[in-house]
Amino acid sequence: MNYTLNQLQIFLKVVQTNSITKAAEELNLTQPAVSIQIKNLQAQFDIPLIEIIGKKIYITDFGKEIAESAKSILDQVYAINYKTMAFKDQLVGRLKISIVSTGKYVLPYFLSDFLRTNPGVEISIDVTNREKVLESQLENEVDFSLVSDALDNPTFDSIDLLSNDLYLIGNSETAKMKPTFNYQDFKNELPLIFREYGSGTRKIMESYFKKQGVDGLKKIELMSNEAVKQAVIAGLGYSIMPIIGIKNEVKAGTLKIIEREGLPISTKWKLIWHKDKSLSPVSKAFLTYVGENKDQIKQKYFQ
């Protein structure tokens, strides 16, 4: 056997995401690079690790066992690294954080200085929708989660980070054509572009239009905020989106904010964790850092 730690890490990520594309994104690699490493790992075994049927990946039973072994090996490697750093009196450990998709515009700014001053800390971030983010907390799969809507759940403790304002948007041409449209028009010629079920942004949109007495909407459904944004820019319809993910396009004029009563919708970005979870030293240090520095971070990057 001649497999490498890098191959095991990449294979484990493919198993966890069930996708070469998603694994490449999370590892900041190209799809061909991931495919090559999986191919090289597979060459070490006579039994298939994965099967591709159509365009979908299926992990074989043997592949699942190898993934479990790979996780154990990598955990041992991390433990060795942590012990080495600990002997140097440095904070060491791993932080696992799940975030809603728009959270990628927020979380890095709360991590950068913390990681710079604590090089022994490693980060694992899972980007998904709200439903899966909360599920990861309830299953004790992560240390913290980042959500952006009201959270009335006694299971979680939380700390507010900053406000999250959502606006109705169209592209410059469609907004110009219908500057005074009525919400009832969404039933006919003006499609609304929604995120998938389980998304926090979708939940907010549906709640807003319900309050406006609008139902039976003409809808387009997409799986990511970036896809929604590009669809609106292309003129496929309108959507309600967090300003934090579209501010550059608004400044450039490719997207236009459409003013309506009840907008913007204001929520809060919250860092949450299970109240019964025993926080590790790294988790406690990060929570302390966020509490002490959130106002400065907000002022510096989100003013």
- Contact by Cβ (8 Å): 204, 265: yes
Residue-wise pLDDT tens digits, 216-240: 677 889 988 899 999 999 988 889 9
Which has the closest alpha carbon to 250: 130, 158, 165? Answer: 165
Average the pLDDT over each of 125-134, 178-187, 231-240, 294-303 and give the range with the smallest value: 178-187
Give the pair of three-digit tokens for residue 98.
């799940």
Residue-wise pLDDT tens digits, 12-21: 999 988 889 8
Domain ranges of the chain: 1-89, 165-265
Residues in the chain: 303
**pLDDT tier, 183 (very low <50, low <70, confident <90, very high otherwise):** low
- What is the DSSP code string of 218-252? -EEEESSHHHHHHHHHTTS-BEEEEGGGTHHHHHH
Q: Is-same-fold flag (1-89; 165-265)?
A: no
Q: What's the pLDDT at 292?
A: 96
Which has the closest alpha carbon to 123: 146, 143, 103, 102? Answer: 143
**pLDDT tier, 53 (very low <50, low <70, confident <90, very high otherwise):** confident
How many CB atoms sit inside 10 A of residue 223's CB? 12
| pLDDT of 179 above 60 | no
Residue-wise pLDDT tens digits, 266-300: 999 999 999 999 888 899 999 999 999 999 999 99
**pLDDT tier, 84 (very low <50, low <70, confident <90, very high otherwise):** low
Q: Which CATH superfamily is domain 165-265 in?
A: Periplasmic binding protein-like II (3.40.190.10)
Domain 1-89: CATH class, spelled out: mainly alpha
Q: How, if at all, do strands 93-100 and 121-128 pair?
A: parallel
- Give the torsion sign (CA, 284, 286, 292, 294): negative
Q: What's the pLDDT at 299?
A: 93
Q: What's the pLDDT at 219?
A: 82
